[in-house]
A and B are shown apart, each in its own frame.
Chain A
Amino acid sequence: MEAFLHQVLSGLATGGIYASLALALVMIYQSTHFINFAQGEMAMFSTYLAWTMINAGMSWWLAFVLTILLSFVIGMLIERILIRPVEQAPVLTVIIVFIGLLVILNSVAGWIYTYTIKSFPSPFPAEPVFGGLMSAHELGAIGVTLVVLILLYVFFQFTPLGLAMRAVAQNPVSSRLVGIRVGWMLALGWGLAAAIGAVAGMMIAPIVYLDPTMMSGVLLYAFAAALLGGIDSPGGAVVGGFLVGVLENVMGAFVIGTELKLTVALIVIIAVLLVRPSGLFGRVIVSRV
């Protein structure tokens, strides 16, 4: 029982990270209708930025905040410079741009930082908590994730800017007609997605270590989470993230073994696509015909 509880709790910790990244995927999906394949690589790059700052002697939390801000700006720049020009382009062009971004970020990170695996410090104490049930880092990661999710919820639900971003995701033409600067909202969305990804990267790096491919598995789980929750549902992505995290850990520990854990993500993806493509919370449109 205790072993099971342990797996569930550490599943919630990684699940929170998948949830954040899934949320970032959903945000960009809502405005572009594409999965940002480069989301994981963006997060990886942000984590390297944090690592550089910490290595230069900066305090962990200051590096954390600076990395979030910097990632936000980089995300906006990516939208303005790379995505904007292909907004109206055919599907394949957009996908190639996403993949190009992925490859570029990966190689630049490899070029600057080399492909050797680095350890990334955790800001939380090394001692386990709850009598060894989970590590302090896992508990801390859950806490950080929850703070991020609550802040985002408040932003989208209760601020005029958040409302405008939701409006743009639904109906860009009408958004222009009420005076919303749609282009800036899209850039803002990319900035936020990059910032969320940065948090996810800094929270997962102490667990999976730091290397240019660190996020490929994580992104796959996040993708599964987003699909499970419903690719157009931010709330669904969050729930999906926690579910996938727990499922992955429990299955890995008791059913298929840690080596095959990643297949959980694939199974979830395939099952959702086959059984319920709109996901658990995918938009069921309540409207008149």
Chain B
Amino acid sequence: MDASVRGCLAIPARGRMMAALLEVSRLQAGYGAFSVLHGISFAVQDGGITALLGANGAGKTTTLRAVCGMVKAAGSVVLAGAQIAGRSTEDIVRRGVAHVPDGRGTFLHLTTEENLRLGAYTRRDRADVAGDLERCYTYFPRLEERRAQQAGTLSGGEQQMLAIARALMLRPRLLLLDEPSFGLAPLVVQEIFRIMQRIRQEQQVGILLVEQNASLALEVADHAYLLETGRVVLGGRADEVGRNEAVRKSYLGY
């Protein structure tokens, strides 16, 4: 990394009046003997959106996987004060972490509504689940039209909406979103980002957003981190990161 990047290296930005919902420090992860993350540190504020930027293969997806226990990881992952590193994915989900994975993870042969019901699988408040289902349909009216349809027959955009809605059915404290704009038409992307902001306002949820589209991500996020080959090379308030010259050149294209 060059000097201009290093100059702006502000380690976990202390949010104004916001407590850190997720604090990750010295996180290392990889696949078998192949190490991908070399000790990264970042934070997500409660009720905030943190963007994770980086080139292909930088380790963004791996970071999300490591946070929710899908890959072997070392280091510290603290969610709302509790250490969750090393726990099973099922346990981490039960603590309120919802992950919209790379590739959406749709249950293709189940109906739209069954997919949504699965999102609330760990919840015991059956009455509230019914209410949340209706709320998801108000966020994404298109899903309501397709509630009895096999999820595999939904369009890419609809499946992305379904994946987000399914994650919301958990009533998560922390939402991990892996490239929600991937492969979608600009209009659909706008719709999804609009809904994301609405969700952030209406529900107390912290969002960790991985996005290729850096300008879009910096627009909605309040904090951002730049990942380069498994290391955080830049982090801070989203507007500051957006003004960084190296980020502008490589990721914003101006």
Q: Are A285 and B152 in contact (CB under 8 A)?
A: yes
| Contacts known (A163-B117, A170-B110, A288-B155); A177 close to B93, Cβ less than 8 A | yes
* In the bound complex, CA of A269 to CA of B90 (Å): 40
When C-beta atoms are compared, the residue in chain A nearest to B122 turns out to be A179
CB distance from A153 to the nearest CB of B (A): 15
CB distance from B90 to the nearest CB of A (A): 5
| Contacts known (A164-B121, A176-B70, A288-B153); A181 close to B109, Cβ less than 8 A | no
Q: Mark A165-176, 1 if CB is under 8 A from B, else 0.
A: 011001101111
Chain A residues with CB below 8 A from B107, complex form: 167, 170-171, 174
Q: Are B152 and A287 in contact (CB under 8 A)?
A: yes
- Flag whether A275 is at the interface (Cβ < 8 A): no
CB distance from B120 to the nearest CB of A (A): 8
CB distance from B10 to the nearest CB of A (A): 32
- Flag whether B166 is at the interface (Cβ < 8 A): yes
When C-beta atoms are compared, the residue in chain A nearest to B95 turns out to be A179
Chain B residues with CB below 8 A from A179, complex form: 90, 93-94, 121-122, 170
Q: Are A283 and B121 in contact (CB under 8 A)?
A: no
Tally of chain A residues near chain B (CB < 8 A)? 22
* In the bound complex, CA of A287 to CA of B106 (Å): 12
CB distance from B13 to the nearest CB of A (A): 28
Tally of chain B residues near chain A (CB < 8 A)? 29
Q: Are B68 and A283 in contact (CB under 8 A)?
A: no
Q: Are B94 and A286 in contact (CB under 8 A)?
A: no
- Flag whether A146 is at the interface (Cβ < 8 A): no
Q: Mark A257-289, 1 if CB is under 8 A from B, else 0.
A: 000000000000000000000000001011110
When C-beta atoms are compared, the residue in chain A nearest to B91 turns out to be A179
Chain A residues with CB below 8 A from B70, complex form: 173, 176-177
Chain B residues with CB below 8 A from A90, complex form: none
Chain B residues with CB below 8 A from A285, complex form: 108-109, 152
* In the bound complex, CA of A288 to CA of B166 (Å): 20
* In the bound complex, CA of A176 to CA of B122 (Å): 11
CB distance from A157 to the nearest CB of B (A): 10
- Flag whether B54 is at the interface (Cβ < 8 A): no
Q: Are B99 and A177 in contact (CB under 8 A)?
A: yes
Q: Are A174 and B106 in contact (CB under 8 A)?
A: yes
Q: Report which of B90, B101, B170 forms a contact with A174, defined as CB distance below 8 A.
A: B101
| Contacts known (A163-B114, A171-B105, A176-B70); A181 close to B90, Cβ less than 8 A | yes
- Flag whether B119 is at the interface (Cβ < 8 A): yes
Chain A residues with CB below 8 A from B150, complex form: 286
Chain A residues with CB below 8 A from B170, complex form: 178-179
Chain A residues with CB below 8 A from B184, complex form: none
CB distance from A232 to the nearest CB of B (A): 10
Chain B residues with CB below 8 A from A171, complex form: 105, 107-108
Q: Are B110 and A178 in contact (CB under 8 A)?
A: no
Q: Report which of A160, A170, A177, A283 forms a contact with B101, defined as CB distance below 8 A.
A: A177
Q: Are A164 and B118 in contact (CB under 8 A)?
A: yes
- Flag whether B89 is at the interface (Cβ < 8 A): yes
When C-beta atoms are compared, the residue in chain B nearest to A232 turns out to be B109
Chain B residues with CB below 8 A from A283, complex form: 109
Q: Mark B69-83, 1 if CB is under 8 A from A, else 0.
A: 010000000000000
Chain B residues with CB below 8 A from A181, complex form: 90
* In the bound complex, CA of A283 to CA of B108 (Å): 12
CB distance from A161 to the nearest CB of B (A): 9
Which residues A86-130 have CB closer than 8 A to chain B? none
Q: Are A166 and B153 in contact (CB under 8 A)?
A: no
When C-beta atoms are compared, the residue in chain A nearest to B159 turns out to be A288
Q: Report which of A170, A176, A286 forms a contact with B90, defined as CB distance below 8 A.
A: A176
Top-6 shortest CB links A-B: A287-B152, A179-B122, A174-B105, A179-B93, A176-B89, A178-B118
Known contacts A171-B105, A179-B170; 10 further A-B pairs (Cβ under 8 A): A170-B109, A173-B101, A174-B101, A175-B118, A176-B88, A176-B89, A179-B94, A180-B118, A287-B153, A288-B153
Instruction: Identify 14 residue pairs between A and B in the complex whose beta-carbon atoms are under 8 Å apart, listed by A's number.
Output: A160-B117, A163-B118, A170-B110, A171-B105, A174-B106, A177-B68, A177-B89, A177-B93, A179-B93, A179-B122, A180-B90, A180-B121, A287-B108, A287-B153
Binding site for A on B (CB under 8 A): 68, 70, 88-90, 93-94, 98-99, 101, 105-110, 114, 117-119, 121-122, 150, 152-153, 155-156, 166, 170
